[in-house]
Amino acid sequence: MINRLAIIGVGLIGSSLALALKQAQFVGHVVGCGRNQANLKKGIELGVIDSYCDSVVEAVKDADVVVIAVPLSSMQSIFEQMQGVLSSDTVVTDVGSTKGSVIEAARVGLGDRLNQFVPGHPIAGSEKSGVEAGTAELYQNRKVILTPLQENRQSSINEISDMWRQCGAHIEYLSVIHHDKVLAATSHLPHLLAFSMVNYLSGLNDHDEIFKYAAGGFRDFTRIASSDSVMWRDVCLANGDALIELINGYKKELDQVAEAINHQDAEKLLKLFGKAKLERDILVGNC
């Protein structure tokens, strides 16, 4: 049970966490912290948070758990604002999509309180954003990756694990480097490809016609291109090296298809597409 939970950044991820914990009766008071007062008021109206403030200092004071759910580029400033006011009993976690950059920010911002920070990343989301998009079910049967620090006490790690389990999530532990590499491939690259796809087609001469005839496949393929652009800018800046390597590798994969088309190599094309279908069917449990 968390008596007082502070959520810094009341968007889709933070709101869904608050709603899930309330549904599980695992939280007493939820204080939301942010700069957009209208959004915070909406959070009260929707029963997501119980009170709000715009001061990180005030929000984290007396909190048992602090969850930082702001874009990656704002993390360091949030950590810095906590310095000197964070009680030694408070456990801090985050929900950032990359972990290396957040840990670096925490190291700078939290100083000797770094041991109280357990880095986390729920593998769940939506192309929608904002407090209204939150749902208590977002983390049901989803994975939450924790990348604990050597400095962490086991009790702090347990507290954050328990919190996510109460939301229906499964906990996985990864090293920071492994997390950032795997997520670059499975999440960051697809987002870049989808953004680029929409931009490319919208720049073509007959883009109105092209979008007009877009069917369900195109909509699903580009769903993630409706994601929050600040968040994805920050991911690119934080995990750039991994992403550039993946973009280059992916371009070579495309070259293989282009070459097979160019040579009218029916056998090669069938093999490539058949392999992808099989892998994808296995992935979603159709095989």
CA count, 13 A, side-chain hemisphere, 70: 21
Site for a copy of itself in 17-56 (CB under 8 A): none
Adjacent-strand bridge partners of 144: 122, 171
Minimal distance in Å, beta carbon 272 to a copy of itself? 6
What are 163's two structure tokens? 């919190």
Minimal distance in Å, beta carbon 163 to a copy of itself? 19
User: Would you say the C-alpha torsion 270, 276, 281, 282 has a positive or negative sign?
Assistant: positive
Q: Does 258 bind a copy of itself (CB under 8 A)?
A: yes
Which of residues 95 and 145 has its CB atom nearest to a copy of itself in the complex?
145
Q: Which residues contact 56 (CB under 8 A, 6 or more apart)?
A: 8, 33, 78, 81, 82
Among 120, 125, 134, 148, binds a copy of itself (CB under 8 A): 125
DSSP letters, 33-79, are E-S-HHHHHHHHHTTS-SEEES-HHHHHTT-SEEEE-S-GGGHHHHH
Q: Does 8 bind a copy of itself (CB under 8 A)?
A: no
Question: Residue 285 region, left (φ>0) first, then alpha (ψ -120 to 50), else beta?
Answer: left
Q: Does 249 bind a copy of itself (CB under 8 A)?
A: yes
Which of residues 1 and 278 has its CB atom nearest to a copy of itself in the complex?
278
Stretch 181-210: interaction string toward a copy of itself, x if CB under 8 A: xxx-xxx-xxxxxxxxxxxxxxxx-x--xx
Minimal distance in Å, beta carbon 279 to a copy of itself? 5
Nearest partner of 37 among 59, 50, 47, 52, judged by Cα: 52
Q: How far apart are CA 43 and CA 115, in angstroms?
A: 31
Among 1, 87, 89, 214, binds a copy of itself (CB under 8 A): 214
Q: Does 233 bind a copy of itself (CB under 8 A)?
A: yes
Which of residues 116 and 161 has its CB atom nearest to a copy of itself in the complex?
161
How do strand 51-53 and strand 91-94 relate by DSSP bridges?
unpaired
Site for a copy of itself in 147-186 (CB under 8 A): 172, 178, 181-183, 185-186
Give how many residues touch a copy of itself by CB under 8 A.
Answer: 91
Q: Does 264 bind a copy of itself (CB under 8 A)?
A: yes
Nearest partner of 20 among 128, 155, 124, 119, judged by Cα: 124
Among 143, 162, 168, 171, binds a copy of itself (CB under 8 A): 143
Site for a copy of itself in 63-92 (CB under 8 A): 73
Give the range of 14-22, 51-59, 107-115, 259-267 binding a copy of itself by CB under 8 A: 259-267
Nearest partner of 72 among 115, 119, 111, 105, judged by Cα: 105
Q: Does 281 bind a copy of itself (CB under 8 A)?
A: yes
Minimal distance in Å, beta carbon 175 to a copy of itself? 11
Minimal distance in Å, beta carbon 181 to a copy of itself? 7
Cβ burial of 145 (10 Å; 0-12, 13-18, 19+) is buried
Q: Does 97 bind a copy of itself (CB under 8 A)?
A: no
